[in-house]
Structure 1
Amino acid sequence: MEAGLFGFTLAGLVVGFAVGVTGVGGGSLMTPILILLFGFSPSAAVGTDLLYAAGTKSFGVWLHGRQRTVDWRIVSLLVAGSVPAALLTIAALHTVGIDETVERIMTLTLSAAVVATALLTLFRQRLMAMVSDRAVPAAAGADVRRRLRTPITIAGAALLGVLVTLSSVGAGVLGTTMLFLLYPRLPAVKVVGSDIAYAVPLTLVAGLGHISLGTTDFEVLAYLLLGSLPGIFLGTRLGFQLPDRVLRPTIACLLILVGASLLFDNVASAFAG
């Protein structure tokens, strides 16, 4: 195996391990790695990572489906919002074309999504505690919340659909946080299972759209998957033995550094151009 291709397998292994240990979405790590370490353009990194995510998350859906930890009603709402939004975003990219301006927009979107993921990784437990303290509202307030929850779920999923199509980030930490806020009584394992289940069609549709744009590297994709599957397995097995209070802040700080690096590179290239 060539050294460069071995690097992609190693990257898949490292990202898969991190996902297995912390649950942080792979897109927030893999896409920046492809851009910063391997010199991919933002569109090529996003297009390749979307199919990488669809492949890795499909295995997770199978596991959660066997354990009956997927709320398929919520998944249907998320798909109803996110998939059409992804298709519209792909159509818009076809209309305007992948030029320098679009690449910069993708980089800025990716930077913002990575930093948001980092902040939620740091503070999500505190946010969830605040939500659980208020999970028993007055009956009238609960009725209003239930009536609005469906359209809010669809609208939030639509925003995530656009975000994921442009950056490949958003279907992990951002998606689960939205579900925790909207469905505070839903068990955490079903929140995670439902988020993974809707992410598969979303990343698959967005990934296929990027194929039509010519922004997918299939050889690199194969080597990423070759490393990621054993990485996820090892991370899942070892995650129970590693302290969460150390892992999550470490990953969050790394993501903030990555987001800042992407932003700096984008600003520097803009001035250089």
Structure 2
Amino acid sequence: MDMLTYAATGAIIGLIIGITGVGGGALMTPALLFFGFPAHIAVGTDLWYAALTKTSGLWTHHKKNHIRWRIALNMATGSLPAAILTGVVLSIWFGDAQSYGHILKSALGFMLIVTAVMLILRSYLSKTIGARGQTDTEASNLFSIKLILVGVLLGILVTLSSVGAGAVGTAVLMMLYPRLLPKEIVGTDIAHAVPLTFIAGLIHLHLGNVNFTLLAALLIGSIPAINIGAMISSSIPARYLNPALASLLLLLGLRYALF
């Protein structure tokens, strides 16, 4: 019965991801905490969930030439070492998962609040920052300090919370590169999120923080539901769903950040 419950949870969250593009770590990790899983298992398992669900999307975006690889590589230059260093600190500085569980919950709360704010601002950003569809010459730079620093911050926070590689990464790219097409922003963000969540997932696997039986149940429910959500997304008004999702994430964020 528990496995059916987890599969149903995966289906519900997968449907939301398909419709809105948001909800992987932002909803899955709190859901696992609600079911009574400790923070380290919730975060570690969700990182593998995110990595596996986004991998198929990566290949699709690559074939359609939606990915600005130099942007993704600059971000990964900061995020991947930062994720590894975060894992080293968790492994060496703290004796066991129980001792750093409160840090994971606080990081989760912070990132849920940030994700809620970014979700509220996403429509505003897409409408008001720059002219879409023009060439952004800065996006072709071989080396970008600001992207590397953004990557460092995401590497630390995603490893601690499993949240932010999607919604926060997308919003940052909107602000830094307003002339990129929406499909390029999404493709580039996924190109960065996949290796980051895999590396962070491997770190948590090394720490013993991944429940693969739970992961399998979540994927069984979510993979078909994501595709269904994508197919029906155009018929569901985002102006109602996004504020409701943002409000839920904000409440969850305050819950884990403050209590």
Normalised-by-shorter TM-score class: over 0.9
Over 2 Å off, 4+ runs: 97-101, 127-131, 142-149, 260-264
SS in 2 for 1:70: coil
Q: Paired residue for 2:249? A: 255
**2:66 maps to which of 62, 65, 69:** 69
Q: Distance in 1 between matches of 2:142 and 2:253?
A: 33
Please tell me the root mean square deviation across aligned C-alpha atoms, in Å.
2.3
69 and 262 in structure 1: CA distance in 2 versus 1, 3 angstrom threshold? same
The structural deviation recorded for 1:131 is 2.2
Q: Distance in 1 between matches of 2:140 and 2:192?
A: 21
SS in 2 for 1:132: coil
The structural deviation recorded for 1:130 is 3.7
Q: What amino acid is aligned across from residue 51 of structure 1 in structure 2?
A: W
Answer with 1 or 2: which has the greater Rg.
Answer: 1
Matches within 5 A, 1:55-204: 55-97=52-94, 98-132=96-130, 150-204=144-198
Q: TM-score, normalised on structure 2?
A: 0.92
Matches within 5 A, 1:169-248: 169-248=163-242
Q: What amino acid is aligned across from residue 164 of structure 1 in structure 2?
A: V
Q: Paired residue for 1:44? A: 41
Count of aligned pairs: 257
SS in 1 for 2:163: coil
Q: Distance in 2 between matches of 1:191 and 1:146?
A: 14
Identity of aligned residues (%): 41
Structure 2: give runs of 5+ residues left out of the alignment. Answer: none
Q: TM-score, normalised on structure 1?
A: 0.88
**1:9 maps to which of 7, 19, 22:** 7
Contact 2:70 2:141 in 1 (8 A): no
The structural deviation recorded for 1:145 is 10
147 and 229 in structure 1: CA distance in 2 versus 1, 3 angstrom threshold? closer
22 and 95 in structure 1: CA distance in 2 versus 1, 3 angstrom threshold? same
The structural deviation recorded for 1:231 is 1.1
Superimposed CA distance per residue, residues 69-126 of structure 1 (whole angstroms, 9 cap, x where no aligned partner): 1111111111111111100001111102334442111111101101111111112222
Q: Distance in 1 between matches of 2:139 and 2:71?
A: 15
